[in-house]
Structure 1
C-alpha cells in the first residue's frame, strides 16, 4: 500500500521538491497552499509527472492539492478531516513574514506586526497542522519541519520563529516516540531556485553565501527533499528530536 504524505507549502521551492520525491517513490501525496489557482495547477503538474512503472505496468500516482491557510485553525481542521491515517507530515509552509502594519504604525507597532507574521507563518502554522494530525499519524510515521540556518545567525524574527519550532519539535519527539513516530527539523542553508528572497538576492550576496560553504555551491531544493526522504525511511527510525543541518558546511555543529 502506498504511503500517505502531506506537504504543507508544497506548491513551490523546497515543498514542491519534497512532494516530487515522494511521488517518485509511489506515495499518495497531498500538497497545500493558500492560492487556489497555484495549488490546482501544481497538483495537476505533479500528478502528470508522478508515474511509477514496475516491469511493463505503469500506474498514475495520486497528487491532491488542497487550499489551506495553515495559520487558520478552521482550515487546518478541515484539512485534517481528510485523513484516516497519515505516514509522513512535512511542514514546509512558511518563509519571511509579509507584515502589513499600516502607514501610520509606530516603530513598535511595525516590529510587533513583523514578529507576529513570522511566528504565525513559521511556528504556529506547524503547531496547528501537527496538532490536528497527531491522532492519525501511523506507527512508524514521521513528522518533519523545515527550519533555517538563520536560527543560528542573524536571523531576526524569522530565525527566532524557526528556533522556536526546533524547540517545540524536541518536545514533540518525546511525545510521539512511544508511538513509533519520529520528529525532526531540517535546517537548510542558502537554497537557490526558490522564491524565499522575494527578488532581493544580489549577485554579491549570493557569492558571499556560497563562499561560506565547504562545498562551494548553493544548495538546491532537491538537497532538502532527499534529506526529508531519508528521515522518513526505515533507515532513520532512531533519528528523532534532532535538527539536521543541510548547509554545505556554512554552519557546523562542532
Structure 2
C-alpha cells in the first residue's frame, strides 16, 4: 500500500535525503520549506509534492494541515542554525533573540507541525524528528533546543504510542554535505570532528535517511520514545 509521508525542511540536506529515500519506495511524499523557489525546484527534481510553509508560523502550519489527508509518516526535519540576530549578541536583547530563534527553528517547528497534523496520523504512523549531537555537548542555545526536542518526543510518545503511533528522535552527529555550517567550517574543524568518531569518517545524509526509513518500517513498531544516536561513535550511550 502506498504510504503518505510529510517532511518539513525537505528541500536540502538531511530532509531532502529522507524525502528521496521514501520517494524511492514510491511513497506519496510531500516536502515543505520556507521559500517558493527552493521548494518548487526540489519537488520537481525528486518528483514529489512541495508546499511552501514556515513550520515556525502557526498560521502557515494550520494551512498546511488542511491540505494533508491521512498521514503515515511525519518527519520533522526543519531546523538548523538560525541567521545571526541583529544587534549586540552580548546584550540581553541579542541573547534573547538568539535563544528564541533557536527554540522556534529547532523545537517549535516540530511541536507545531505534529500538533497540527496529529488527527491525520493512523494507528500505524511514525513521527520522526531530527535532533543533534549538540544536545549532548557544546551546543549552546541550538543544543538546548535539540535537547528539549528529545524531552518533548518522550512526552509525545507517551501520548501517541498507546494509539499505535511511534515517536522517535534521530540525533545526528557531524554530517558532511549539508549547509549547516553555512560555509564556515574550517578544514581543521572538519578533521577534529571526524577524529572524534570511532569509524573515522563524517556522517552522510544517507546515514540519517536510512535510519529514518527503518524507524518508519514494520520492524521498528516497538521502538518509540527513543533518541537514536547516529554519529559514528562520537557520542556513546550504554
8 A Cα contact 1:18 1:228, kept in partner: yes
Counterparts of 1:1-254 in structure 2 under 5 Å? 1-47=1-47, 63-102=48-87, 107-254=91-238
Deviations 1:110-150 (A, max 9, x none): 11010000000010111000000100101110001000000
Deviations 1:223-244 (A, max 9, x none): 0000000000000000000000
Tell me the CA shift for residue 97 of structure 1. 1.8
- Unaligned stretches of 5+ residues in structure 2: none
TM value normalised by structure 2: 0.98
Deviations 1:51-103 (A, max 9, x none): xxxxxxxxxxxx10100000111100010111220000000000012242336
Question: Which contiguous aligned blocks of 4+ residues in structure 1 show a shift greater than 2 angstroms?
Answer: 99-103
Using the alignment, how far apart are the partners of 2:23 and 2:52 within structure 1?
A: 19
Two-structure CA RMSD over aligned residues (Å): 1.0
SS in 2 for 1:128: helix
SS in 2 for 1:7: strand
Tell me the CA shift for residue 153 of structure 1. 0.5
TM value normalised by structure 1: 0.92
Larger Rg: 1
